[in-house]
């Protein structure tokens, strides 16, 4: 484009010519800035009968402060929120509390505490093990302090650490936490069907209800949940938020060799995966190819299609993983695909 400035008429000078800088259009592959709420901001599911509504995929912080440094963790949290995610999970046992510190830093820096559903599991920290009355109060207070918040939305009681305390005493203590506003609702982790029934009987006598259940559950870890536990959860109207949704990354397709399987941290069903895992991965690969989505998204889609499952808890240690995981909330598996995945996992 040319801009002309006319010289003095008396001098008869020729017009001066000035060339403006060319306007270069953005390259078609340039990233599109996020403007306004994320695409998933309107996607919310009720967490049982609690009145809480959350994105149907809860971002877990198990890797924060351990395999993921603080700066990377903050970027992961930002990316999740950009997509419209609003539920974050941590535990006092994750990296000895460092996960809680990092999430607390993020909440304070972004000023978004009231927009986030914060879920915390307590009972696994070595300083306050178990969920007996004294340690439960100490654990909850310690988590609140590390997170820098005044309230936990869902407090999961870790039933895997048995300190011999009667459930009645635990619920009586939890009642104080709820009444003082430190905890909004109660959840359970590692509770048997029988213990959940006991908890409901106590709730009928005036103790606080357990409203949410976290039980490890996925395509290769099914036996513990698909039985009495699922029946009780459905009968009690519990919101099920299963952890280990990708079995430590195996169901994302990242661990396919025998050597990789042996290195998967904490995999409790390694023998089952060695026996059935290849069949499951082949079924996941096929569905992912048909739907044009990542393998991890299909594994999450299968979970969301199961009865009683509300929102899986999924950990991430890189921002690109968040991009894959969030697609799982929008995957619509057909009947044939669901049947083939379930058959492969049987």
> Could you tell me if residue 293 is inside a domain?
yes
Q: Which helix (H) or strand (E) holds 167?
A: helix 167-179
The answer for residues whose C-beta is within 8 angstroms of residue 251's C-beta and 6 or more apart is 218, 219, 220, 245, 280, 281, 284, 295, 296, 299
On the question of pLDDT at 305 being above 80, the answer is yes
On the question of pLDDT at 5 being above 70, the answer is no
Domain around 131: 43-344
On the question of pLDDT at 128 being above 80, the answer is yes
> Could you tell me if residue 234 is inside a domain?
yes
Provide mean pLDDT across the span 7-33.
Answer: 43
Provide mean pLDDT across the span 233-251.
Answer: 95
Nearest CA-CA partner of 185 in 222, 214, 220: 214
* Predicted local confidence at residue 34, as pLDDT: 44
> Could you tell me if residue 29 is inside a domain?
no
On the question of pLDDT at 100 being above 90, the answer is yes
| Mean pLDDT lowest among 6-20, 114-128, 168-182, 245-259 | 6-20
> Could you tell me if residue 20 is inside a domain?
no
> Could you tell me if residue 101 is inside a domain?
yes
Cβ 161 vs Cβ 189: under 8 Å: no
Pairing between strand 2-5 and 117-122?
unpaired
Cβ 80 vs Cβ 112: under 8 Å: no
Query: CA of 77: how far to CAs of 45, 82, 244, 246, 260, in Å?
Result: 20, 9, 18, 19, 27
* Predicted local confidence at residue 271, as pLDDT: 52
* Predicted local confidence at residue 50, as pLDDT: 96
> Could you tell me if residue 319 is inside a domain?
yes
In this structure, what token pair is assigned to residue 79? 């990316």
**Domain tally, the chain:** 1
Query: CA of 25: how far to CAs of 20, 21, 138, in Å?
Result: 15, 13, 59
Res. 164 pLDDT band, cuts 50 70 90: confident
Residue with tokens 């009145």: 51
Instruction: Indicate the pTM of the whole model.
Output: 0.85
Residue 143: which CATH number? 3.20.20.100
> Could you tell me if residue 155 is inside a domain?
yes
On the question of pLDDT at 12 being above 50, the answer is no
> Could you tell me if residue 32 is inside a domain?
no
């Amino acid at each position: 484009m040319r801009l002309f400035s006319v010289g003095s008429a008396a001098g008869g000078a020729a017009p001066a010519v000035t060339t403006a800088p060319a306007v270069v259009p953005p390259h078609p592959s340039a990233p599109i800035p996020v403007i306004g709420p994320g695409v998933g901001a309107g996607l919310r599911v009720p967490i049982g009968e609690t009145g809480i509504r959350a994105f149907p995929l809860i971002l877990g912080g198990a890797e924060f402060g351990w395999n993921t440094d603080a700066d990377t963790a903050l970027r992961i949290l930002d990316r999740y929120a950009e997509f419209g995610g609003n539920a974050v999970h941590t535990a006092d046992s994750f990296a000895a509390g460092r996960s809680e510190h990092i999430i607390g830093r993020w909440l304070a820096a972004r000023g978004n505490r009231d927009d986030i559903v914060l879920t915390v599991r307590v009972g696994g920290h070595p300083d306050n093990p178990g969920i007996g009355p004294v340690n439960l109060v100490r654990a909850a207070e310690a988590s609140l302090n590390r997170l820098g918040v005044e309230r936990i939305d869902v407090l999961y009681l870790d039933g895997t650490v048995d300190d011999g305390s009667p459930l009645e005493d635990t619920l009586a203590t939890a009642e104080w936490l709820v009444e003082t506003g430190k905890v909004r609702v109660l959840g359970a982790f590692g509770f048997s069907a029988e213990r959940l029934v006991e908890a409901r009987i106590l709730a009928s006598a005036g103790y606080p209800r357990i409203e949410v259940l976290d039980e490890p559950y996925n395509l290769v870890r099914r036996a513990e949940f698909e039985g009495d536990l699922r029946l009780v959860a459905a009968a009690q109207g519990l919101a099920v938020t299963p952890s280990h949704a990708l079995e430590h990354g195996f169901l994302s397709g990242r661990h396919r060799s025998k050597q990789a399987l042996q290195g998967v941290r904490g995999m409790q069903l390694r023998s089952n995966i060695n026996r059935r895992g290849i069949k499951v991965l082949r079924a996941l690969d096929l569905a992912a190819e048909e739907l044009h989505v990542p393998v991890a998204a299909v594994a999450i889609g299968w979970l969301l299609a199961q009865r009683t499952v509300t929102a899986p808890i999924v950990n991430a240690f890189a921002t690109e993983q968040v991009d894959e995981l969030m697609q799982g909330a929008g995957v619509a598996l057909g009947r044939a695909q669901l049947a083939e995945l379930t058959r492969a996992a049987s």
